[in-house]
Amino acid sequence: MSAPTTERRHIVVPPGQPALRVETLSVWYGTRQAIREISMVIPERSITAIIGPSGCGKSTLLRAFNRMHDTTPGARVEGKVWRNGIDLYAPDTDPVWVRRQIGMIFQRPNPFPKSIFENVAFGLRVNGYRGDVAARVEQALRAAALWDEVKDKLDASALALSGGQQQRLCIARALAIEPQILLMDEPCSALDPVATMRIEDLMRELAKSYTIVIVTHNMQQASRVSDYTAFMLAGEDRIGELIEYAPTREMFIRPRDRRTEDYITGRIG
Amino acid sequence: MERAPGIPQPVEALPAVSLAERRERIQRVLRGDLAEDRRRRLRERLITGWLFLAAAISVLTTAGIIYTLSIETIHFFQRVSLVEFFTDTQWTPLFAEKHFGIAPLAVATLLVSSIAMLVALPLGLLAAIGLAEYLPPRLARLIKPILEILAGVPTVVYGYFALLFVTPLLQRFIPNLQVFNVLSAGLVMGIMILPLVASLSQDAMLAVPQSLREAAYALGATKLEVVWRVVVPASLSGIVASFILAVSRAVGETMIVVIAMGNTPRLSFNPLEQMQAMTAYIVQVSLGDTPHGTLEYQTIFAVGTTLFLITMGLNLLSFRFLRRFREIYQ
């Protein structure tokens, strides 16, 4: 039994309409707790970065936002995630409905071994979209800044694209079903600097109409692209906690918590 | 001067050694190395030799089989024309009036294999999906060996199971089912090759990266959609390869057809009747008293060659599919 934390945390509540309101969220893998009682508000139409050293539970937190843990045997989530007055973890909330609104981009590009077109159309097909599939595919590819590169080879295999193109294809695939929130789990960790820059530009562009939450190892990336930054850290019990949450500029210029400062300045992690 | 602990002492000056002595030392070391090197090379050659021998035995056996088959098959076709072999509708080499049409045997084999595949394909695929996608991994690991026991049952047991259990059972519903018939043999053969299909297909599905399943879930796919739209298509060449291997296993299966299907070569497409499969004919002649070198004796090599070509073709086809499958995820 660990004693309840009484220390003061510097966790801001961003103004404006919240996209997600997270309430005392904890996740277990089997008997091992991975993150403990995280509460935070993700603001709408902005980019929120989650940073922290390896094993601090960043990805675990992110995957809790669209109920991806449901697909992992043994994983258990406690707490609430509110969106527009609906608790995503309520018993009558359909996880498929949740994921339809909250898309996800993964660490490594993971296109299906199908054509470029079919990759983007996949979400439309499984969601029974009745409109003009080709138009939506084009729209999504344009939004992901990939259309000009692939418009002449939509029937080619997605696996023939470069890593950066594959990742933008995965973004297009997620955008095709018009989610409201995009979760990105270290989307650039497998990409070279040029491809990374293109993805970051794309993220800034997408943030005008989507809410983006990005997990990143790369503090420069967090400071470049995000509006808000959350710093997570696992204590001696290896359970991740939210240490500090603030507007990005503030956090990087004047961190309030000693541990945040140590991490940002490279003393730990 | 004080030294901090942990800092190594300066190396002592080397004792003075004459140039001649140094040269001698170096040569001594080199000689020892050379001897060791020679011993190692000899050992390696010995091991390579053994491995080569082991490989050579299996290659030579295959070559021997092909040689024997071809010699006798050539002798057979010097006396019976290829046209007759492929177009005659009767197979009566053991009767007074001889006909050498492979069709009755080939049709029987294809019919029983088709029935077997009708059983093994859907059940095997569903079993594979259940094992790979639905059952908790721990339970799947428990069930798979049980399923594979089915593959370890001696085929003679399957044969009697078909003859003494399945046929009487089916006769209650199909009164005009003969005692020896293609249907029972096919159904039981299907059960026999089911574990092959299930096991290989499951392996193919487990090879589909978890990241693809996650991608589909994140796009709002249900479990069923993930399985049918992502996992099955992505492992399709592996699944097809397992089907082809299963067909080739069915075509070459012997005991079940000998025991439960009958020994009368008749050209028919009715699975309720008895027929003789290619393998069953070979058994019949091998066990009989047909003298070596006679035309009757040579018929089994002609049939054997046909069988060999069919299964080899199927195996090659399945390897092509498997290779394509590996290329996708390397």
Left, alpha or beta for A238 (phi > 0: left; psi -120 to 50: alpha)? left
B85 to each of B106, B263, B313, how far by Cα in Å?
11, 19, 20
In chain B, the percentage of residues whose pLDDT exceeds 90 is 51
Asked if A182 and A104 touch (Cβ cutoff 8 Å), the reply is yes
Q: How far is CA B154 from CA A28, B117, B151, B255, in A?
A: 48, 19, 8, 9
Q: How far is the C-alpha of A66 from the C-alpha of A93, rounded, in Å? A: 12
Q: How far apart are CA A22 and CA B90, in angstroms?
A: 79
Number of residue pairs across A and B with CB atoms under 8 Å? 69
**What's the pLDDT score for residue B264?**
86
The pair phi, psi for residue A33, each rounded to 5°, is: -80, 135
Residue of A nearest to B211 (CA): A110
pLDDT attached to residue B7? 56
- At A43-82, the pLDDT tens digits run 999 999 999 998 899 999 999 999 999 988 889 999 999 9
Q: What is the pLDDT of residue B35?
A: 80
Which residues on adjacent β-strands are paired with residue A246? A229
Nearest Cβ partner for B218 among A66, A97, A125: A66
Residue at A54 is within a domain: yes
B245-258 as b/e: b if 16+ CB within 10 A: bbbbbbbbbbbbbb
- On whether residue A193 sits in a domain, the answer given is yes
Q: Give the pLDDT of residue A1.
A: 42
- The pLDDT of A213-231, averaged and rounded, is 93
Q: Is residue A137 situated within a structural domain?
A: no
Q: What distance in Å separates residue B330's CA from the closest CA in chain A?
A: 11
The Cα B86–Cα B303 span in angstroms is 11
The H or E element that residue A183 is part of is: strand A181-185
What average pLDDT does range B78-84 have in this prediction? 89
B203, B325 Cβ separation under 8 angstroms: no
Position A5 in a domain: no
- Structural domain boundaries enclosing A20: 10-112+180-264
Q: Inter-chain contact B211–A177, Cβ cutoff 8 Å?
A: no
Beta strands A18-29 and A75-83, pairing class: antiparallel
pLDDT for res A128: 87
- pLDDT, tens digit, 9 for 90 and up, residues B61-78: 999 999 999 999 999 999
Q: What is the pLDDT of residue B9?
A: 58
Which of A71, A126, A177 lies at the smallest CB-CB distance from B229?
A: A126
Q: What is the pLDDT of residues B231-268, one digit of tens each?
A: 999 998 889 889 988 999 999 988 999 999 988 888 88
* Contacts (Cβ under 8 Å, ≥6 apart) of A226: A47, A48, A49, A214, A248
The answer as to whether A213 is a domain residue is: yes
Kindly tell me the burial class for residue A217, based on how many C-beta atoms sit within 10 Å of its own C-beta (0-12, 13-18, 19 or more): middle
Q: Considering only A111-125, A170-184, B42-56, B278-292, which range has the smallest mean pLDDT?
A: B278-292
- Each residue of A239-249: pLDDT tens digit? 999 999 999 99
More confident residue, A215 or A73: A215
**Domain count of the fold of chain A:** 1
What residues of chain A have any CB closer than 8 angstroms to a CB in chain B? 66, 68, 71, 73, 96-97, 99-100, 103-104, 106, 108, 110-114, 122-123, 125-127, 159, 170, 173-174, 177
Question: Which ipTM was obtained for this model?
Answer: 0.90
- pLDDT at position B294 is 87
CA dihedral B230, B234, B235, B239 (to 10 degrees): 90
- Find all residues with CB under 8 Å of B321, minimum gap 6, and list them: B237, B238, B240, B241, B244
CATH number of the domain encompassing residue A187: 3.40.50.300
B211–A108 CB contact, under 8 Å: yes
Determine the Cα–Cα distance for residues A144 and A167; give it in Å rounded to an integer: 9
Across the range A178-200, mean pLDDT stands at 90
The answer as to whether A158 is a domain residue is: no
Distance between A127 CA and the closest CA of chain B, angstroms: 7
Residue A226 has pLDDT above 70, yes or no: yes
pLDDT in tens, B155-173: 999 999 999 999 999 999 9
Measured on CA atoms in the order A153, A156, A157, A159, is the torsion positive or negative? negative
φ, ψ of residue A76 in degrees (nearest 5) = -140, 140
Q: Which pLDDT score, from 0 to 100, does residue A3 have? A: 45
The whole-angstrom separation of Cα B15 and Cα B175 is 105
Check pLDDT > 50 for residue B48: yes
Mutate to test the interface with A, among B219, B223, B224, B328 (most CBs of A within 10 A): B219
Indicate if the pLDDT at residue B80 is higher than 70.
yes
Closest approach of B25 to chain A, Cα-based (Å)? 53
Distance, CA of A255 to CA of A249 (rounded, Å): 9
pLDDT of residue B63: 94
Q: Quickly list H helices, chain B.
A: 19-79, 82-87, 103-129, 137-152, 155-161, 167-173, 182-206, 210-218, 223-225, 232-234, 236-252, 255-260, 278-287, 295-329
pLDDT range class, residue A189, cuts 50, 70, 90: confident
Q: What are the structural domains of chain B? A: 103-285 (1.10.3720.10)
Question: How far apart, in whole angstroms, are the C-alpha atoms of residue B275 and residue B207?
Answer: 41
**Nearest CA of chain A to the CA of B318: how many Å?**
20
CB A24 within 8 A of CB A77: no
In a domain, residue A143? The reply is: no
Most confident range, picked from A10-19, B1-10, B119-128: B119-128
Among residues B72, B202, B67, the alpha carbon closest in space to that of B131 is found at: B202
Q: How far apart are CA B265 and CA B275, in angstroms?
A: 5
**pLDDT score at A88:** 94
In chain A, pLDDT over 70 holds for what percent of residues? 96
Pick from B212, B220, B229: which is nearest to A110 by CB?
Answer: B212
Q: CB within 8 A of A108, min separation 6: which ones?
A: A189, A190, B211
For residues B274-293, give the mean pLDDT. 88
CA dist list (Å): A112 to A169, B193, B214, B215 = 10, 31, 11, 8
Residue A182 has pLDDT above 50, yes or no: yes
CB-CB neighbours of A6 under 10 Å: 5
Distance, in Å, from the CA atom of B257 to the CA atom of B278, rounded to the nearest integer, reads 9
Select from B117, B72, B84 the least CA-distant residue to B298.
B72
Q: Is the pLDDT of residue B330 over 50?
A: no
- Given a cut of 60, whether residue B11 has pLDDT beyond it is no
User: What is the C-alpha to C-alpha distance for residues B54 and B325, in angstroms, rounded to an integer?
Assistant: 30
Measured between alpha carbons, how far is A201 from A171 in angstroms, rounded to an integer?
A: 13
Q: Which residues of A touch B137 (CB under 8 A)?
A: 73
Across all residues in chain B, what is the average pLDDT?
Answer: 88
Q: What is the H or E stretch that residue A39 is in?
A: strand A32-43
pLDDT(A12) > 60: yes
pLDDT in tens, B178-219: 889 999 999 999 999 999 999 999 999 999 999 999 999 999
Chain-centroid distance of CA B124 in Å reads: 16
Amino acid found at A135? A
List the single range of A8-17, A175-184, A234-243, B122-131 with lowest mean pLDDT.
A8-17
CA distance B234 to B211: 12
Lowest-confidence range among A176-180, B65-69, B110-114, B263-267? Answer: B263-267
Within a domain: A50: yes
Q: What is the pLDDT of residue B328?
A: 60
Nearest 5°: the CA angle A49, A45, A41 is: 55
Confidence bin at B288 (pLDDT 50/70/90)? confident
